[in-house]
């Protein structure tokens, strides 16, 4: 039935051309707004991790400059250091000892490390609040590429390193795990710089390990 000038034909079985165009435009806008967000967030998180390690590097080198070029893990406990605690399989005492130079415990957590949560203060700090390993044999020397700290996402022969003390030698088959920085990781050097390394290429993890001035380095893995 038709009423004059008005069609009673139902439109419930499909969209009109205009309605379809509107839906298409909305979908395109949503794709433009939200699809780039994940890569952008990952890039932002990667920058935060690098800045965190720069702060760690700066804090530890400031500590060393105030203590005859030695880091807290190279000074005896009797002289207010943490040297004897290297074999305790805990990392937090060494960071805690340098807290006056590090200032903020939140810098000790990498944004990609979802299993670790930042401490609110250094008094409650423990290994679960730390993402970055320390090299107990690092030297306060700006002329070498000595590794001071770095992302804990290391593996040896494809096996992720466990928390505790790890003896790193220059001939080990070391690499980064694939589930964090896209198969890469960051290293803080004793000259105050931070480098992004991959598992291959020019700036590779293995090349930095082979360039270490000591054949063996004791890594404190949180």
Boundaries of every domain in the chain: 37-221
Report the candidate in 136, 149, 123 with the shortest Cα–Cα distance to residue 52: 149
How far apart CA 98 and CA 117 sit, in angstroms, is: 19
pLDDT per position as a tens digit, 50-95: 999 999 999 999 999 999 999 999 999 999 999 999 999 999 999 9
Q: Quick one: pLDDT at residue 79?
A: 95
124, two tokens: 């409650």
Q: Quick one: pLDDT at residue 142?
A: 67
Q: Average pLDDT over the chain, rounded to whole?
A: 84
Burial of 7 (0-12, 13-18, 19+ CB in 10 A): exposed
Helices (H), 66-221: 92-97, 99-102, 205-210
Beta carbons within 8 Å of 149's beta carbon, 6+ residues apart: 53, 56, 57, 60, 132, 133, 134, 135, 187, 188
pTM exceeding 0.75: yes
């Amino acid at each position: 039935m038709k009423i004059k000038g008005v069609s009673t034909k139902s439109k419930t079985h499909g969209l009109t051309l205009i309605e379809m165009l509107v839906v298409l435009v909305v979908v395109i806008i949503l794709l433009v707004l939200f699809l780039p967000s994940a890569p952008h967030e990952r890039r932002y998180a990667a920058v935060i991790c690098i800045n965190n390690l720069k702060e760690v590097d700066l804090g530890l080198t400031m500590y060393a400059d105030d203590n005859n070029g030695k880091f807290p893990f190279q000074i005896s406990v009797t002289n207010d250091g943490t040297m004897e605690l290297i074999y305790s399989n805990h990392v937090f005492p060494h960071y805690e000892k340098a807290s006056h130079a590090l200032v903020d415990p939140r810098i000790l957590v990498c944004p990609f490390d979802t299993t670790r949560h930042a401490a609110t203060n250094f008094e409650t700090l423990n290994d679960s609040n730390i993402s970055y390993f320390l090299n107990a044999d690092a030297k306060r020397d700006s002329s070498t590429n000595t590794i001071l700290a770095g992302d804990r996402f290391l593996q040896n022969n494809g096996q992720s390193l466990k928390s505790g003390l790890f003896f790193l030698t220059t001939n080990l088959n070391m690499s980064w795990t694939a589930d964090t920085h896209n198969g890469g990781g960051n290293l803080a050097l004793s000259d105050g710089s931070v480098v992004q390394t991959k598992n291959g290429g020019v700036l590779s993890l293995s090349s930095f390990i082979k360039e270490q001035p000591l054949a063996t380095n004791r890594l404190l893995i949180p």
